[in-house]
């Protein structure tokens, strides 16, 4: 099934440049979904030149004009959401219904929300005898990963454009089709040429060339901590702005008076979502020592609902992981957890039966994981949950904070007050209290090695402005 006809790269409002060179693989059966262009530095240079040339004109437009472009793209995305969901299911492997709801639903909100709130952003304000202007930071290099590919793109592109920036996007090599489909929407929407450009190809070559290009004013990166750290070093040498959304090892903290069944089920669901390939996934479940056995049983039972299978099959709750390399890494960490004395509750490293064609991993849970064990410290990016125990609230908070990451988390308690008191002491960018819902207008980003910078809503626009004072 070929779902994309290669047209090259989207540069300066037209499709151009080298074609072919890379296949996009369906992780469910290893078939080729499409063939796309493996870009070169020539295309990156052309895209940056286009973004630079378009900058002054785009910055000079009114907020309302910029919001109108975003609203139009949002409306077109809504119309074509089934096509986008299908493409993302084929390239990422997330079950179709979930892909439509999350992989397309969230980016839709980013375009619609940003179009709606841009007008209220304080692009200009009076401070004494000064007019303080928050203007576009300039040309933005957006480098994005494959796990929620369109969400991560929209969370950068919509606010950057709202702020008056122009963008060159280098999407993930493993899941680039949604980015190309998005470029189609910008073309059909009649967006000004050069404000949004897409160049596809390998990260280490063209991603790096893009990020370090002297005409790029800011890098907005989502991906691994290793690549993020390397890009931060590169950015430092040019005093270039960079925002980083990196890994996580987020904890669900369940205090002793919490509704244990509700908390454990919600954590299992959050851990296994998208086969565990979620940077904010709750991958450590911290329960009171006295309630461990009960928690393990609830978790084991909840895992039964995660039926592995082809993501196009409506009965499937858990699709494959993205690639052979990813699966091998996950299996290795499962093996390590066993070697380090974790008790295997369900799942395991061996391949699930009858699913040889794709990169499937059994939903896996370990109990008796020590807070310093590899499984409690390393991001797995696969469907693997570690259950840990704590003596009391202080101990639970200390274990949650025993991580070099600080992206997300949740706290469950009998009262909102008790949960909030613990949440205030946990060093992460967002925390759900007793199952609080994801809020697409709330700032999203990390503490510690989960990165810096915030995305979404008003805070997302703030990432892409530079401040200037005019004195009168
Ligand atoms: P992941 O494991 O989530 O793929 P990566 O950090 O490897 O995380 O990739 C995230 C994005 O960064 C992808 O678009 C990838 O192509 C790109 N990338 C990978 N290596 C580099 C690099 N050396 N320089 C710039 N971008 C890179």
CATH for 190: 3.40.605.10
Domain membership of residue 175 (yes or no) is yes
Q: Is 299 helix (H, G, I), strand (E, B) or coil?
A: helix
Say how many Å lie between the CA of residue 259 and the centre of ligand 1: 40
- What's the CA gap between 161 and 440, in Å, rounded? 18
Task: Give strand ranges (E) for 100-223.
Answer: 124-127, 130-136, 139-143, 166-170, 196-198, 218-222
- What's the CA gap between 216 and 464, in Å, rounded? 13
Say how many Å lie between the CA of residue 276 and the centre of ligand 1: 19
Do 109 and 20 lie in one domain? The reply is yes
Determine the longest span between alpha carbons in the chain, in angstroms: 74
pLDDT in tens, 439-455: 999 999 999 999 999 99
DSSP H helices, 60-176, are 63-79, 81-92, 96-98, 105-117, 149-163
Q: What is the mean pLDDT of residues 459-464?
A: 98
Do 311 and 189 lie in one domain? The reply is no
Q: Answer whether 2's CB lies under 8 Å from 23's CB.
A: no
> Which pairs from 347-350 meet CB under 8 Å and 24+ separation?
347/303, 347/383, 347/384
Do 281 and 231 lie in one domain? The reply is no
Question: φ and ψ at 281, to 5 degrees?
Answer: -55, 140
Domain membership of residue 1 (yes or no) is no
Do 388 and 435 lie in one domain? The reply is yes
CATH label of the domain that carries residue 303: 3.40.309.10
Domain membership of residue 2 (yes or no) is no
For residue 17, what pLDDT band results from cuts at 50, 70 and 90?
A: confident
Domain membership of residue 411 (yes or no) is yes
pLDDT in tens, 379-403: 999 999 999 999 999 999 999 999 9
Tokens found for residue 109 = 């909100």
Domain membership of residue 74 (yes or no) is yes
Average pLDDT of the chain to the nearest whole number: 97
Instruction: Give the structural domain span for 81.
Output: 9-246+450-471
Do 353 and 302 lie in one domain? The reply is yes
Task: Give strand ranges (E) for 223-381.
Answer: 241-245, 250-254, 282-288, 343-346, 364-367
Ligand 1 close to Cβ of residue 176 (< 6 A): no
Domain membership of residue 403 (yes or no) is yes
Tokens found for residue 331 = 């299996």
Residue ID of nearest Cα to ligand 1 atom 3: 223
Paired with 144 in beta bridges are: none
Do 289 and 357 lie in one domain? The reply is yes
Do 159 and 184 lie in one domain? The reply is yes
Q: What is the mean pLDDT of residues 215-229?
A: 98
Q: What pLDDT was estimated at residue 19?
A: 81
Do 33 and 182 lie in one domain? The reply is yes
pLDDT in tens, 329-376: 999 999 999 999 999 999 999 999 999 999 999 999 999 999 999 999
Do 17 and 102 lie in one domain? The reply is yes
Looking at the CA of residue 210, tell me the nearest atom of ligand 1: 25
Other Cβ atoms within 10 Å of 159 Cβ, number:
30
Q: Answer whether 249's CB lies under 8 Å from 405's CB.
A: yes
Ligand 1 close to Cβ of residue 267 (< 6 A): no
Domain membership of residue 238 (yes or no) is yes
Do 367 and 328 lie in one domain? The reply is yes
Looking at the CA of residue 228, tell me the nearest atom of ligand 1: 6
Do 220 and 288 lie in one domain? The reply is no
Query: How many separate domains does the chain show?
Result: 2
Other Cβ atoms within 10 Å of 20 Cβ, number:
11
Q: Which residues are catalytic?
A: 245, 279
Distance of CA 160 to the CA centre of its chain: 17
Domain membership of residue 445 (yes or no) is no
Q: What pLDDT was estimated at residue 115?
A: 98
Residue ID of nearest Cα to ligand 1 atom 18: 203
Q: What pLDDT was estimated at residue 1?
A: 60
Do 389 and 240 lie in one domain? The reply is no
């Amino acid at each position: 099934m070929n779902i994309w006809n290669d047209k090259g790269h989207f540069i300066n409002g037209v499709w151009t440049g080298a074609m072919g060179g890379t296949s996009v693989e369906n992780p469910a059966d290893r078939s080729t979904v499409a063939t796309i262009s493996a870009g070169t530095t020539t295309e990156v240079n052309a895209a940056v030149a286009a973004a630079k040339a378009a900058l002054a004109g785009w910055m000079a437009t009114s907020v309302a004009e910029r919001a109108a472009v975003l609203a139009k793209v949002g409306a077109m995305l809504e119309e074509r959401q089934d096509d986008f969901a299908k493409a993302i299911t084929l390239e990422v492997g997330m079950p179709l219904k979930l892909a439509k709801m999350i992989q397309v639903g969230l980016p839709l909100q980013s375009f619609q929300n940003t179009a709606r709130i841009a007008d209220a952003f304080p692009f200009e304000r009076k401070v004494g005898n000064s007019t303080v202007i928050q203007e576009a930071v300039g040309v933005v290099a957006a480098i994005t990963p494959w796990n929620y590919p369109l969400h991560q793109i929209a969370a950068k592109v919509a606010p950057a454009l709202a702020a008056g920036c122009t963008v060159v996007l280098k999407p993930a090599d493993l899941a680039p089709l949604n980015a190309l489909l998005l470029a189609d929407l910008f073309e059909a929407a009649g967006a000004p040429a050069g404000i949004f450009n897409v160049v596809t190809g390998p990260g280490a070559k063209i991603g790096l060339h893009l990020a370090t290009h002297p005409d790029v004013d800011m890098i907005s990166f989502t991906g691994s901590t290793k690549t993020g750290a390397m890009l931060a070093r590169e950015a430092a040498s040019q005093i270039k702005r960079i925002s980083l959304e990196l890994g996580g090892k987020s904890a669900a903290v369940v205090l002793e008076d919490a509704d244990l069944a509700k908390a454990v089920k919600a954590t299992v669901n959050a851990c296994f979502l998208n086969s565990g390939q979620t940077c904010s996934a709750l991958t450590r479940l911290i329960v009171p020592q006295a309630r461990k056995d009960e928690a393990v049983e609830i978790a084991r039972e909840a895992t039964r609902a995660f039926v592995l299978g082809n993501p196009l099959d409506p009965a499937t709750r858990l699709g494959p992981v993205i690639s052979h390399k990813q699966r091998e890494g996950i299996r290795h960490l499962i093996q390590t957890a066993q070697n380090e004395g974790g008790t295997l509750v369900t799942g395991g490293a061996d391949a699930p039966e009858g699913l040889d064609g794709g990169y499937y991993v059994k939903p896996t849970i370990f109990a008796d994981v020590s807070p310093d064990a590899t499984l409690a410290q390393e991001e797995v990016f696969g469907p693997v949950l570690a259950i840990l125990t704590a003596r009391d609230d202080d101990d639970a908070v200390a274990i949650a904070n025993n991580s070099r990451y600080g992206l997300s988390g949740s706290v469950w308690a009998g009262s909102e007050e008790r949960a909030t008191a613990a949440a205030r002491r946990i060093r992460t960018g967002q925390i759900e209290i007793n199952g609080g819902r994801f809020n697409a207008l709330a700032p999203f980003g990390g503490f510690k090695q989960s990165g810096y910078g915030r995305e979404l809503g008003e805070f997302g626009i703030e990432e892409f402005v530079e401040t200037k004072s005019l004195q009168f």
